[in-house]
Every structure is written in C-alpha cells, then in structure tokens.
Amino acid sequence: LVELDRAPLSLAPAAWYRLRLEAVGGELRGYVNNILYVQATDSSHARGISGIATSLAATRFDYFRVFQP
C-alpha cells in the first residue's frame, strides 16, 4: 500500500458522504461530495480491478459501482 496524496477533511459521525474515485490511466482523483480533495499520478497500476477499504474506522458503503469512462 502506497500513500500518494493526503488532504485534511472533517467528517461528522453518522453522516452520509458521496465518495468518487477516478482512475483513468495513471491519473488518480478523489472527491468527497463532488469536491476534489486529492489527486496524484501513478502509472504503475494503470489496469486492474477496483475496490474500496478502510482502516481503523467503522464504515458503511451504499451503491458501489464501477464503470469505464
């Protein structure tokens, strides 16, 4: 696991947020409620499978989907 970017973000307990992750080629972007928070370039994994995970947090995900641009 490699951390490519980091941004401060305050989250309220029991609130729902819209998370959007974009990976197009080596360009990576992360949005919360349609606001861009992180972006990076990493071409070492330009193809593969997708998934999401958390660490040290109780989290629920609803309506996870993946599609090609």
Cα 51 to its chain centre, rounded Å, is 9
Contact 28, 40 (CB under 8 A): yes
pTM for this entry: 0.82
Cα 13 to its chain centre, rounded Å, is 19
Q: Tell me which amino acid residue 8 is.
A: P
pLDDT tens digits, residue range 22-51? 988 889 999 999 999 999 999 887 777 888
pLDDT tens digits, residue range 6-18? 999 998 988 999 9
Q: Summarize the confidence of residues 47-65 as an average pLDDT.
A: 83
User: Residue 26 has which token pair?
Assistant: 């080596």
* Euclidean distance between the first and the last CA atom of the chain, given in angstroms as a whole number: 25
User: Residue 27 has which token pair?
Assistant: 């360009």
User: Residue 50 has which token pair?
Assistant: 């997708």
